[in-house]
Amino acid sequence: MNILLSNDDGYQAPGLCALQQALSSDHHITTVAPERDRSGASNSLTLDRPLSARQHSGANHSKVYSVNGTPTDCVYLGLAGLHLNPDIIISGINNGPNLGDDVLYSGTVAAAMEGRFAKHTTLAISTSSHTQDHIESAVQAVQLLLARIETFPARHENLVLNVNVPSLPPEAIKGFKVCRLGRRDSTKAMVQETDPRGRTIFWLGPAPAAADAGEGTDFHALAQGYITVTPLHTDLTRYQQLDNTSQWLQGADLGQT
């Protein structure tokens, strides 16, 4: 299988390198990833300067490119600039989880979403630990999903499977659980400091705690030791509110303000 790998932690990130090493013995791997950590870049594109792709040596003669752009830039460049034709696009293995609202900010998920028109549903893979302990569990999860992807009923739809793997040894993981996204608390945290010139600066604080983390959510399943799998799609239309919105705007006329 021809696989395009990307991530948001950078082309030298341990999770990406572990996945490249494991998959390159059985698949044709091309990695196109940011030259540095671009976590939180979401679906942003670089439009104010040109992109460059530097080639590096990869495991088992696989190709590796580092790009001076965002995760979305990387997949876009891989498809439209390097003219790759992958069977599937995999983003990760991310350093830390992408649960609930995280998917709105995640460069890992964004890279997978940019590949949504590939031949198969794309995969966004993350681990529950920022230290990436037991990375072999996430690698094995990817290998198992790849082995079954041909039988996924919606494999040709424009979907992303958002996968979070507990940082546990493989034998301690309870299995896979399909679940919905939870939700984090709405509280925002900022850390205020002063730079050496006396100016006030701000750091974004840590991610808020979960507010919706009950049974059936990705937060709950991951905490219980399951690999979470959540199908995502890019159509943000709230179909349930189309009629209500239409009725609300009925009779509205700019000439009658």
Q: What is the CATH number of the domain that holds 228?
A: 3.40.1210.10
What range defines the domain where residue 139 resides? 2-182+211-256
Decide the pairing of beta strands 63-67 and 53-57: antiparallel
Residue 14 pLDDT? 95
Evaluate whether residue 206 is within a structural domain: no
> Quick check: is 61 in a domain?
yes
Helices (H) and strands (E) in the chain, counts: 7, 13
For the chain, list residues with pLDDT below 70.
257
Residue 195 lies in a domain: no
Mean pLDDT estimate for the chain: 93
d(CA 201, CA 191): 8
The answer to whether 98 and 65 have CB atoms below 8 angstroms apart is no
Q: Which amino acid would we find at residue 131?
A: T
| Secondary structure (3-state) at 93 | strand
Q: How many CB atoms within 10 Å of residue 244?
A: 10
- Exposed / middle / buried, residue 89 (Cβ in 10 Å: 0-12, 13-18, 19+): buried
Is residue 148 situated within a structural domain? yes
Domain contains 137? yes
Quote the strand ranges of 88-158, DSSP E. 88-94, 122-127
Residue 170 falls inside a structural domain: yes
Domain presence at residue 196: no
Q: How many domains does the chain have?
A: 1
Give the whole-angstrom CA distance, residue 94 versus residue 161.
14
At residue 23, the pLDDT reads 96
Structural element, H or E, at residue 164 = strand 159-165
pLDDT of residue 207: 81
> Would you state the pLDDT for residue 211?
80
Q: Flag whether 28 is in a domain.
A: yes
- Could you give the dihedral angle defined by the CA atoms of residues 129, 122, 85 and 139, in that order, rounded to the nearest 10 degrees? 40
Condensed to tens digits (0 to 9), the pLDDT of residues 145-184 reads 999 999 999 888 889 999 999 999 999 999 999 999 999 9
pTM score, whole prediction: 0.92
Amino acid identity, position 114: E
